[in-house]
């Protein structure tokens, strides 16, 4: 018997007498069935997970995620498991869980393993890893997305109910679009970063992939606990979801500034998603997105590349060959920058942020394609940088502008590839994004990831 692992179905199965041991065995059977050894960098022994489940005792209603299997991107600490950030020379053994992981385990969730990623979370493609790239769950010819590729693929295959990623430039959203799942990028600081390997600490967050919007948001609420030990933490309310709203003004790229790099099927899919929003009673407001693209270009210039460099500076000095050439090429651009360049970057970002204040004040939310188009593994082999940059078209600006984001599946494109849009809002609007997304994900005949399980 196979139990769908979205939370409603899983909890219903538990209510009907399915055991947590059965679910754990199903998880490991599914890992064997998928047979992709590159999804996980490290995997817990099935016997150890079964022992943990038995030690938890009977189902506990006070633990909202009791018996829920999840995976953790391997730049986030899990006690007793190595953290590598996809660099063997970086490997260390943490003595305790990352703050977010600890909150989820306290709620009864069960760690299965540590997932593969673009090295040091530098990439949106999922193939920049010395451990071999995980295969896209929908179409193995397409890149899995990154940097949280292993986490996105694990959820899409129905191996786990949810998985943690991280998101600086879109790493918690791009894999969601490419694998037909939900990617929730919280408001910066609402989730603690304690116990994670930073890429750009000032503009990044741990994120969550789920099979449904409600699943991802429930996980988010569970771990949205203020951490006084994280100097970037903020007190952000993670309120319960309410009835989906109507009458919102939703800003979208106008025809002149919508970018799909010639992918007319993607443009058609996006227009269809906007029609769904209009049918739900919202007003679609076309906007010039040039300023947002200008902000996006800042992320790999100046201060923020130098911030990445600061994380691995000692490793670069000691053993530069331990870092993949493409990763080294991107991050070492910082060696040509000065402190003066950094301040110029800060000033330019402030200027650009001021320019988008007016347009943003006229709308409640934004809606954009999560990705502008699709790229194959072969295309990445031919050009490791260009397609990666293009995938960040609608994601790179979000954290720089202190926005929250939710990538949500919409009906498949006319060519069968997954449809996905991202809702974006000001800091603290995480719940409004989720409420607005509920109708989008229910449109058409929604299946969960690559599992064939129906959205109920």
353-365: pLDDT as tens digits: 999 999 999 999 9
What's the pLDDT at 445?
A: 87
State mean pLDDT over 93-121: 98
Mean pLDDT estimate for the chain? 97
Catalytic hit among 148, 151, 171, 420: 171
Q: Which of 114, 147, 196, 269 is catalytic?
A: 147
- The pLDDT assigned to 302 comes to 79
Q: b/e map of 294-310 (b: 16 or more CB within 10 Å)? A: bbbebbbbbbbbbbbbe
Per-residue model confidence (pLDDT) at position 301: 81
- Above 80 in pLDDT, residue 1? no
Query: Which positions ≥6 away from 103 have C-beta within 8 Å?
Result: 222, 223, 225
Contact 288, 254 (CB under 8 A): yes
**Exposed / middle / buried, residue 139 (Cβ in 10 Å: 0-12, 13-18, 19+):** middle
**What does the DSSP 8-state code read for residue 454?**
B
73 classed as catalytic = yes
User: In the beta sheet, which residues pair with residue 446?
Assistant: none
- Digit-coded pLDDT (tens) for 399-418: 999 999 999 999 999 999 99
Of 73, 114, 185, 429, the catalytic one is 73
Region 277-302: mean pLDDT is: 95
Query: Can 333 be counted among the known catalytic residues?
Result: no
User: Which helix (H) or strand (E) covers residue 425, if one does?
Assistant: strand 419-426
Q: What is the mean pLDDT of residues 204-219?
A: 98
- Per-residue pLDDT averaged across 184-206, rounded? 97
Q: Return the CATH number of the domain spanning residue range 1-456.
A: 3.90.1300.10
State how far the Cα of 116 lies from the Cα of 16, in Å rounded to an integer: 34
Q: Is 147 a catalytic residue?
A: yes
Please give the Cα distance from 220 to 437 (Å, whole number). 15
Domain assignments of the chain as residue spans, ordered by start: 1-456
**252: Cα within 13 Å, side-chain hemisphere:** 26
Going by pLDDT thresholds of 50, 70 and 90, the confidence category of residue 61 is: confident
- Whole-model pTM? 0.97
Given strand 249-253, what is the order of strands in its sheet? Answer: 40-43, 110-115, 69-73, 162-167, 205-210, 182-185, 403-410, 419-426, 365-369, 249-253, 283-287
Question: Three-state DSSP class for 83?
Answer: strand
Indicate if the pLDDT at residue 292 is higher than 90.
yes
pLDDT for the residue numbered 81: 98
């Amino acid at each position: 018997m196979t139990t769908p692992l979205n939370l409603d179905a899983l909890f219903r199965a538990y209510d009907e007498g399915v055991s947590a041991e059965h679910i754990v065995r199903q998880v490991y059977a599914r890992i064997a069935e998928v047979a992709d050894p590159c999804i996980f960098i490290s995997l817990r022994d099935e016997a150890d997970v079964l022992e943990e489940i038995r030690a938890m005792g009977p189902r506990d209603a006070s633990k909202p995620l009791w018996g829920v299997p999840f995976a953790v991107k391997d730049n986030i600490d899990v006690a007793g498991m190595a953290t590598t950030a996809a660099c063997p020379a970086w490997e260390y053994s943490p003595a305790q869980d990352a703050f977010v992981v600890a909150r989820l385990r306290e709620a009864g969730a069960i760690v299965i393993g540590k997932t593969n990623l673009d090295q040091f979370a530098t990439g949106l493609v999922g193939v920049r890893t010395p451990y071999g790239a995980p295969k896209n769950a929908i179409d193995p010819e397409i890149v899995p997305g990154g940097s949280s590729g292993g986490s996105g693929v694990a959820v899409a295959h129905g191996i786990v109910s949810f998985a943690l990623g991280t998101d600086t430039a879109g790493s918690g959203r791009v894999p969601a679009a490419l694998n037909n799942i939900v990617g929730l990028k919280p408001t910066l600081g609402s989730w603690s970063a304690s116990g994670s390997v930073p890429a750009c600490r000032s503009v990044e967050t741990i994120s969550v992939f789920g099979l449904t919007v409600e699943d991802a948001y429930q996980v988010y609420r569970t771990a949205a606990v203020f951490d006084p030990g994280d100097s970037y933490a903020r007190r952000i309310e993670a309120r319960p979801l309410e009835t989906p709203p109507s009458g919102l003004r939703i800003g979208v790229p106008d025809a002149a500034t919508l970018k799909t790099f010639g992918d007319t099927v993607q443009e058609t899919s996006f227009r269809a998603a906007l029609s769904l929003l209009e049918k739900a009673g919202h007003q679609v407001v076309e906007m010039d997105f040039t300023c947002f693209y200008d902000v996006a270009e800042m992320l790999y210039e100046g201060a923020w590349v130098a911030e990445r460099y600061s994380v691995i500076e000692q490793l670069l000095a000691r053993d530069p060959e331990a870092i993949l050439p493409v990763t080294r090429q991107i991050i070492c651009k910082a060696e040509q920058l000065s402190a003066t360049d950094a301040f110029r970057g800060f000033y330019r970002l402030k200027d650009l942020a001021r320019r988008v204040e007016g347009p943003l004040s006229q709308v409640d939310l934004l809606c954009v394609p999560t990705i502008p188009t699709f790229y194959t593994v072969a295309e990445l082999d031919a050009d490791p940088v260009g397609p990666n940059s293009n995938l960040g078209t609608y994601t790179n600006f979000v954290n720089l502008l202190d926005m929250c984001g939710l990538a949500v599946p919409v009906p498949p494109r006319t060519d069968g590839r997954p449809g996905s849009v991202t809702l974006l809002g000001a800091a603290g609007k995480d719940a409004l994004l989720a409420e607005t997304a509920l109708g989008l994900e229910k449109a058409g005949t929604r299946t969960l990831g690559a599992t064939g399980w129906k959205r109920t």
